């Protein structure tokens, strides 16, 4: 049944003049930094694939698992219905990175690196007037992509779907064996006991310190040299002067 369905789809595409190209989009080489991030991924450009479609717009179709099965290659493409701003709330696929054939012309043998970063624009995320927005992907995926050549709104050529592309997600720090809520509570109790013991030791140290002359507490016997005796000079009454 499935081969028959595929055959019918192929005949339908041929009837509408849609060329099915054998090209399959690929991620850029693994040696490229940031090839896959939490909201973007990098594709190789489809060089020399659309040489026969000089008057066509070439779009990249990005789809979820559901969108991969629902997207109709042979139907007219209405924009901005398939714009990034409607994804994924209203559509399970969107079109982005509108280009012309000359953008993907064959390379000169100069070793030039040409790639496409999907999801690299943030300024147009909520701007419906920019249907070509290449906005950041909203989740880890997986996503599938393909290139679609349009003559106006009519599809004229399409590539194969890529393999699934899954974005990176933040990793949680793994807990060591035996750790858990009980271990955390024990650690908190031990820390509290140590804090109390430290406070007791500090108080004892201050008591010992203040028992010396530093704090002026305790028996203080003044040195005898610090006491000086003064003999009062008695003034003897002089006999009254006799006249």
What distance in Å separates the CA atoms of residue 63 and residue 68, rounded to the nearest whole number? 5
Mean pLDDT, residues 8-33 = 73
For a pLDDT cut of 70, what percent of the chain falls above it? 70
| pLDDT at residue number 112 | 62
**Cβ–Cβ under 8 Å, residues 74 and 12:** yes
- Lowest-pLDDT range of 27-36, 153-162, 176-185, 222-231: 222-231
Contacts of 181 (CB under 8 A, 6+ apart): none
Q: How many CA atoms lie within 13 A of 150 on its CB side?
A: 21
CA angle (116, 121, 123) in 5-degree steps:
160
For residue 120, CA distances in Å to 35, 135, 227 come to: 12, 6, 91
Taking residues 137-143, report their average pLDDT: 90
**DSSP states of 20-33:** E------BPPTTST
The pLDDT value given to residue 205: 77
Supply the pLDDT for residue 212.
Answer: 58
Tens of pLDDT, residues 24-55: 999 988 788 888 998 999 999 998 899 888 87
Q: Work out whether strand 154-158 and strand 93-100 pair parallel, antiparallel, or are unpaired.
A: unpaired
| pTM > 0.75 | no
Distance, in Å, from the CA atom of 93 to the CA atom of 232, rounded to the nearest integer, reads 115
């Amino acid at each position: 049944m499935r081969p028959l369905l595929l055959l019918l789809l192929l005949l339908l595409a041929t009837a509408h003049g849609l060329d099915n190209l054998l090209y399959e989009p690929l991620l850029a080489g693994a040696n490229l930094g940031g090839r896959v991030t939490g909201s973007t991924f990098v594709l190789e450009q489809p060089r020399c694939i659309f040489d026969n479609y000089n008057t066509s717009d070439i779009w990249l179709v990005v789809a979820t698992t559901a969108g991969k099965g629902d997207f109709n290659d042979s139907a007219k493409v209405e924009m901005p219905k398939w714009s990034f701003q409607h994804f994924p709330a209203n559509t399970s696929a969107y079109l982005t990175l509108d280009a012309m054939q000359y953008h993907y012309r064959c390379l000169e043998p100069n070793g030039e690196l040409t790639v496409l970063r999907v999801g690299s624009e943030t300024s147009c995320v909520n701007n419906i007037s920019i249907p070509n927005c290449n906005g950041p992907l909203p989740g880890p995926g997986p996503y599938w992509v393909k290139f679609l050549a349009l003559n106006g709104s009519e599809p004229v050529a399409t590539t194969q779907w890529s393999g699934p592309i899954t974005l990176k997600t933040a990793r949680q720090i793994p807990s060591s064996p035996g750790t858990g809520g009980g271990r955390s509570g024990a650690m908190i109790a031990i820390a509290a006991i140590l804090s109390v013991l430290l406070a007791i030791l500090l108080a004892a140290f201050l008591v010992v310190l203040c028992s010396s002359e530093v704090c002026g507490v305790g028996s203080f016997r003044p040195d005898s040299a610090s006491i000086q005796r003064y003999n009062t000079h008695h003034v003897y009454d002089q006999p009254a002067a006799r006249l």
